[in-house]
Amino acid sequence: MEISNKELKLTPKRIEALHQLGIYDVDALLSYYPFRYEIIKQSAFSTWKEKDKVHFEGEIVSPIRSWRFGRKKTGTKFDVMVDDQILHITIFNRPWAKQLKEGQIITISGIYQGKNAVTAINYQAKPIAEIPTITPVYASKAGIQQRTIRDSIAKVFAHEKGHLLDFVPTSLQEKYQLLKKEEAIAKIHFPSDEKEIASAYRTLKYEEFLKFFLAIEMMKQQQQTEVLKVPKSFDQTKIDALIKKQPYALTKDQMITIQEVLKDLKSTSLMYRLVQGDVGCGKTVVAAIALYACVLSGMQGALLAPTEILARQHEISLKEIYKDLPLRIETLYSQETTQKKKEIYERLEKGENDILIGTHALLQDRVHFKQLGLVIVDEQQRFGVAQRRTLKEKGEKVDFLLMSATPIPRTLASSLYGDMEVSTIETMPEGRKPVITKLIKENSFRSVLDEINQILDDGHQLYVICAAIDKNEDYDARNVMDTTKSLEKLFLNRAKVGTLHGKMSSQEKQEVMQAFYNNEIQVLVSTTVVEVGMNVVNATGMIIYDSDRFGMSQIHQLRGRIQRGSEQGRCYLLTDASDSHTLERLEVLEKTSNGFEISYEDLRLRGPGDILGTRQSGVPDFVLGNIIEDTKMIEVARSDAKEIYTRLDNPMYQNLKGYLLRQNEKNLSFVD
């Protein structure tokens, strides 16, 4: 049921607020779970320690003093009496706090700063006895109050009470001592104690995992019953010759992965494989050999890349790998001239092109292959399911290979990608040195300026990464434009400074990248547009401003740009953040350069987030489930899902079966 349904009696204002949060129906609203709870536990002032989170009731004993700073920021100060102590309260960005009055009783939650000072997080203008012990806190947006979300959930839950379906069969509820769905929803949104929250989480997590693995099982079975393809036939000696003529020996993991991919191509079943590996592990060579085998079988191959930079880099890499082989390779991207694109379309349709590399431009209706046999998607998490499907449908019974440089441990991959085969490349090519990473706890590299100058004096190049392009009062971060001006003065007569960002035209970006590649630019100030695709071996230094604003895996991808050759790379993470969790994440990057460890720590510290990305349409997301913390529950749910699938027509599974069929209706007719 849509939340706009008149039966629910939600006001237009509330409906609009919920829409802003991406909530459009009853299921989405009731599964919009709190991300934390405000649990009020009052303690005596004498027990407080600096940086403790404290909750207390007090009487306001001073006038209210408010002020403005910045563009839209406010501050408010006042004193309260608590346990015969005068506490000095400061609260930010609560403009309505100036309405408080001297003599008023107030309940405050905040951080004790020592010396009787408290920075308030929030307050309620009532005694603590009148406040619920546990208050759910929901993810929100500016202008949308917590009360709006809480009241909407309460109203809709009251309407749906008695009608919520149990998807977990009664037998499994009893076996694992799980709650009924309705009871779990009530306890997660309206808990009376922490035990109720724990039991609700346990029940709803299990339901998420069960739905997920049953969806995976259904897709896996669907794939196995698809119409068989004609196996690809190619000369293995030519493949061996290509591998042998490479200027470096392939690693053990590369060779194993190549054999797995070639076996898939020769099979009568469609290939649906993920190749995952760390930055610089050599996935491109695997892709090149797969494409070569496809061409040898008389068919065409397509390589889809997320950016023009990466598409062009793939063209350079493939031509280097295929050196002296008569392969016809072209690159298609949206900024190309109309005439050039028309010529590519014509050659492609006539079969005069063997391999087409490109960005989203490959997905256009005008792109027609004569006989497409293999699709490879690089950085697969950057593409939606519909986009990948569009390209795959440009051929008949096309083999499909996904590549990801954001790897996860094998055990997790086998669980989460259970409907596809997974190849993992862990061993790195010989001669690659791990990047030395330093965390600098200020947003300046003045403390390592001598090291930076040495990199340039040694004839090497430097990346400088910024989180913003232009100055923005609402986004306080170092930006490309101002940083470029500063560095031009700093490195005057020492190095030429260039600029690269997403607002530049395709031609401008290409000219800058070529100049950097040719060492005509020594310092490149850029946004994360260089995250993938830039392959400048001579660039061995990287400075990342506001590093706290980037994810761990993203920083690891970025520093992979300075791990392309045999020279030592050095990366400097600058931040003025003081939050302990933020610094913990950045310290992980100092300690390890292993992408698998980093992705694991990223998951541990930040939760599952978008690890599944758009990996599969029709697969339920994890909202509460954590793929790091809940490994035992994951294994149990996966086993239960396999068992349920064999008896899916049993009446006790009808609610679950009906839900999954509705969710997967489109997906079941076409896997990916």
pLDDT, tens digit, for every residue of 54-86?
A: 999 999 999 999 998 877 789 999 999 998 899
Three-state DSSP at 49 gives coil
* CATH 2.40.50.1010 domain extents, the chain: 41-131
Average pLDDT, the chain: 86
pLDDT-based confidence at residue 650 (cuts at 50, 70, 90): confident
Task: Report the pLDDT value the prediction gives residue 262, as an integer from 0 to 100.
Answer: 97
Yes or no: say if 60 and 86 are a contact pair by the CB < 8 Å rule. no
One-letter amino acid for residue 134 of the chain:
I
pLDDT of residue 614: 36
CA–CA dist 638, 635 (Å, integer): 5
Residues of the chain with CATH 3.40.50.300: 238-425, 436-592
**Distance separating alpha carbons of residues 85 and 71, to the nearest angstrom:** 35
Q: Tell how strand 85-92 and strand 53-60 pair up.
A: unpaired
Give the residue-averaged pLDDT of 631-657.
87
Q: How confident is the model at residue 519 (pLDDT cuts 50, 70, 90)?
A: very high
Query: Could you give the 3-state DSSP secondary structure of residue 667?
Result: helix
273-325 pLDDT per residue, tens: 889 888 778 899 999 999 999 999 999 999 988 878 788 888 988 999 999 89
Q: 665: pLDDT confidence band, cut at 50, 70 and 90?
A: low
Name the helix (H) or strand (E) containing 135: strand 134-137
Residues whose CB falls within 8 Å of the CB of residue 320, separated by 6 or more in sequence, listed in order:
none
Higher pLDDT, 533 or 629: 629
Q: Kindly report the CA angle at 362 between 361 and 368, in degrees rounded to 5?
A: 125
Task: Assign 237 a pLDDT band (cuts: 50, 70, 90).
Answer: very high
Distance of CA 240 to the CA centre of its chain: 37
Q: What is d(CA 588, CA 581) in angstroms, rounded to the nearest whole number?
A: 11
Q: Find the radius of gyration of the CA atoms of the chain.
A: 29
Q: Give 615's pLDDT tier (boundaries 50, 70, 90).
A: very low
Residue 392's pLDDT is 64
pLDDT value, residue 477: 84
The residue-averaged pLDDT of 425-453 equals: 89
**Average pLDDT over every residue of 374-392:** 65
pLDDT at 201: 95
The superfamily in CATH containing domain 436-592 is: P-loop containing nucleotide triphosphate hydrolases (3.40.50.300)
Give the least confident one: 19-33, 407-421, 580-594.
407-421
Cα–Cα distances (Å) from 541 to 436, 455, 484, 523, in that order, read 10, 7, 16, 9
Q: Locate tokens 């759910």: which residue?
A: 136
Closest CA to 523 of 445, 575, 577: 445
Q: Residue 663 has what pLDDT?
A: 63
pLDDT at residue 619 is higher than 60: no
CA distance 274 to 611: 14
The CATH number of the structural domain formed by 238-425 is 3.40.50.300
Q: What is the distance between the alpha carbons of residues 457 and 460, in angstroms, rounded to a whole number?
A: 7
DSSP annotation string for 581-645: HHHHHHHHHHH---HHHHHHHHHHHH-STTSSTTS-TTPPPPSS--TTTTHHHHHHHHHHHHHHH
CA 511 to chain centre: 30
The reported pLDDT for the residue numbered 228 is 75
| CA-to-CA separations, 619 to 324, 376, 503, in angstroms, rounded | 45, 22, 35
Output the pLDDT for position 227. Answer: 58
Average pLDDT of the segment spanning 612-619: 43
598-610 mean pLDDT:
65
Average pLDDT over residues 196-222: 87
Phi, psi (5° rounding) for residue 360?
Answer: -55, -15
> Using an 8 Å Cβ cutoff, are 204 and 33 in contact?
yes
Residue 606 confidence (pLDDT): 59
What's the rounded mean pLDDT across residues 181-209? 94
Q: Give one word for 210, left, alpha or beta, with left for phi > 0 and alpha for psi -120 to 50.
A: alpha
- Over residues 199-226, the mean pLDDT reads 82
SS3 of 243, please? helix
**Alpha-carbon 648 to chain mean position:** 33
The proportion of the chain whose per-residue pLDDT surpasses 70, expressed as a percent, equals 90
For 171: left if phi > 0, alpha if psi spans -120 to 50, otherwise beta; the answer is: alpha
Distance CA 299, CA 230 (A): 12
- Rounded Cα gap, residues 509 and 496, in angstroms: 16
Contact predicate 555/598, CB 8 Å: no
User: Where residue 428 falls among pLDDT bands split at 50, 70, 90?
Assistant: confident
Tell me how crowded residue 297 is: count the other CB atoms within 10 A of its CB. 19
Q: Say which amino acid occupies 258.
A: I
Q: Which fold has domain 41-131?
A: OB fold (Dihydrolipoamide Acetyltransferase, E2P) (2.40.50)
**Which pLDDT score is estimated for 640?**
93
544: pLDDT strictly greater than 70: yes
